[in-house]
Amino acid sequence: MTLAPVESIIEVTYLVAAVLLIVGLKRLSSPATARSGNRLAAVGVLLALLVTLLDQGVVSYAGIIIGVIIGGGIGIVAGRKVQMTAMPQMVGLLNGLGGGTAALVSLAEYMRLARDAPPVGPGESLSVALGTAIGAVSFTGSIIAFAKLQELLSGKPHQFPMQRILNLAFAVAIGVLALLLITGTGGMPALWGIFVLALALGALLVLPIGGGDMPVVISTLNALTGMAAAFTGFVLHNQMLVVAGILVGASGTLLTILMGRAMNRSLANVMFGAFGATSTAAAGAEGGIPRTVRQTTAEDTAIALAYARNVVIVPGYGLAVAEGQHAVRELSQELEKRGVDVKFAIHPVAGRMPGHMNVLLAEANIPYDQLLEMEQVNGNFGNTDVVLVVGANDVVNPAAREDPTSPIYGMPILDVDKARNVIVLKRSMGHGFAGIDNALFYRDRTRMLFGDAKRSLTELVEALKTV
């Protein structure tokens, strides 16, 4: 089978682009080469997009150019402007847009095939059904995840009776419609049905999941969008889409597994466990025992820090929200001037995504050798004078180690409760994203410093200067 010259150019360029994507991904898995890896992948995608304009099926360019300028413009401006702290939801939102694209492409291509080349074969129909359903689920699921992280929706699990039964009913209905489509009896009405039901299912699946699990959810939806893209590739007989989509599907699935492992939660548990649902019962049971927290002031905390030999700072999402990364660097420098050994302990899932805290602290120019991972630091908390918890909650909750009824039981945590003193900077006594109570706050060695993380840190720096 010989290809026409134009087709040869397209196919060979696709091959080059696929190699660029693979090399790019490889380079992305090491810090030194990551940036160049991302750029290689971008070049690969751009090459593939440009050469696609030569496709003989493409006859009008005006709409494409206008659409790319509008969409690309929005993407680039939003990507440049978004705060470092809002990165997780940004990734979630962009992922949803990709899912929407895959669903619309599948829909439109089936519409054209059914008109120009009926009957549509079972293979194509299956790919169309899967591309539409997965893309649509990813679209609404990602939008809900975005809304939760952006706090447009509460991060708590939204639950209502019969939820699982309803989800199951939707999934079964989608399956039946897909079957009708494949056997050639459903046609466009069945496909529209799949589209609408899958949109609803995406929202229903993510609504009951607590905010603490959003990283895993976004990673899962990311892998799903990759698969949806691959299915559009099957429909369009486009090798590039298949390869790129499957690459993302596979690497995204592995990433999801790695993240889940860091949180000690399986995917099934995340999707159906409804974090926080069981904890309301647990909190109610403990509610009978009066427990008190001990408050402290910035001045007292400054003194404790100034006379410590070593201090470990545990950053969490509260630091990101308050944009306190520069204030925490100042504090760390002020302490080091006084000869205090300062380290940062990074829980793998502190913040809203793995690596979130590393990126944030790097932005504030905190030296790399001051950042310790959980495994490096956990054995040393017994010898630590003061632990300063800044806006972290669930990742330092000793219930994960001690209370088998806790929904986070078994999750690896930073054992800060073993340190001589623990000072927790926190906005209020509100619950963490997992929506559960934290036993650490009631310990004898724990003091609470309430307030916005950035303001508290600035006050601490001021107080330190006068000590």
Least distance to another protein from the beta carbon of 190, Å? 17
Query: Which distant-in-sequence residues (6+ apart) come within 8 Å of 228 by Cβ?
Result: 99, 102, 103, 106, 130, 131, 134, 135, 138, 245
Sign of CA dihedral 27, 29, 32, 35: positive
- CB burial class (10 A; 0-12, 13-18, 19+) of residue 212? buried
Q: Which range touches another protein (CB under 8 A), out of 299-307, 331-339, 350-358, 423-431?
A: 350-358
- Tell whether residue 58 is a contact of another protein (CB under 8 A): yes
Which residue, 60 or 292, is less far from another protein as judged by CB?
60
Window of 80-88, 149-157, 443-451, 452-460 that interacts with another protein by CB under 8 A: 80-88
Nearest to 190 by CA among 179, 201, 204: 179
* Euclidean distance between CA atoms 215 and 194, whole angstroms: 27
Among 247, 312, 331, 386, binds another protein (CB under 8 A): 247
Is the Cβ–Cβ distance between 49 and 321 less than 8 Å? no
Q: Among 119, 109, 132, 114, which Cα is nearest to 237's? A: 109
Per CB under 8 A, the list member of 6, 12, 78, 196 interacting with another protein is 78
Q: Does 184 bind another protein (CB under 8 A)?
A: no
Q: Give the number of other CB atoms < 10 A from CB of residue 384.
A: 23
Within 8 A by CB and 6+ apart from 131, the residues are 102, 103, 105, 106, 228, 231, 232, 234, 235
- Residue from 114, 128, 191, 248 binding another protein (CB under 8 A): 248
Taking residues 89 to 128 in sequence order and writing x for each that binds another protein by CB under 8 A, - otherwise, the string is: -xx--xx-xx-xxx-xx-xxx-xx----------x-----
Among 125, 132, 225, 456, binds another protein (CB under 8 A): 225
Residue 119: asked if its preceding bond is cis (omega within 30°), the reply is yes
Stretch that binds another protein, among 34-42, 289-297, 333-341, 391-399 (CB under 8 A): 34-42
Name the residue among 309, 154, 130 with its Cα closest to residue 231: 130
**Nearest distance, CB of residue 185 and another protein, angstroms:** 22
Question: Would you count residue 359 as binding another protein (CB under 8 A)?
Answer: yes
Number of residues that bind another protein (CB under 8 A): 112
DSSP 8-state code for residue 154: -
The span of 151-159, 254-262, 328-336, 394-402 binding another protein (CB under 8 A) equals 254-262
CA angle 269, 270, 275 (to 5 degrees): 95
CB of 4 to another protein, least distance (A): 17
Least CB distance from residue 127 to another protein, whole Å?
A: 10
**Which CB, 210 or 215, lies closer to another protein?**
215
Residue from 7, 11, 151, 373 binding another protein (CB under 8 A): 373
Kindly tell me which residue out of 133, 191, 244, 423 binds another protein, with binding defined by CB under 8 A. Answer: 244
What does 187-222 look like in DSSP terms, one character per residue?
Answer: HHHHHHHHHHHHHHHHHHHHTTS-GGGHHHHHHHHH
Active-site option among 213, 394, 415, 417: 394
Interface stretch with another protein, choices 239-247, 382-390, 394-402, 420-428 (CB under 8 A): 239-247
Q: Any contact of residue 246 with another protein (CB under 8 A)?
A: yes
Per rule CB under 8 A, is residue 26 in the interface with another protein? yes
Q: Hey, which residues between 191 and 220 contact another protein (CB under 8 A)?
A: 218-219
- Compare residues 130 and 298 and give the one whose CB is closer to another protein: 130
Place of tokens 């609408």: 196
When asked if residue 31 is in the footprint of another protein (CB under 8 A), the reply is yes
Residues 134 and 224 sit within 8 Å (Cβ to Cβ): yes
Question: Residue from 85, 88, 263, 390 that binds another protein (CB under 8 A)?
Answer: 88
Instruction: Determine whether 394 is an active site residue.
Output: yes
Active site members: 394
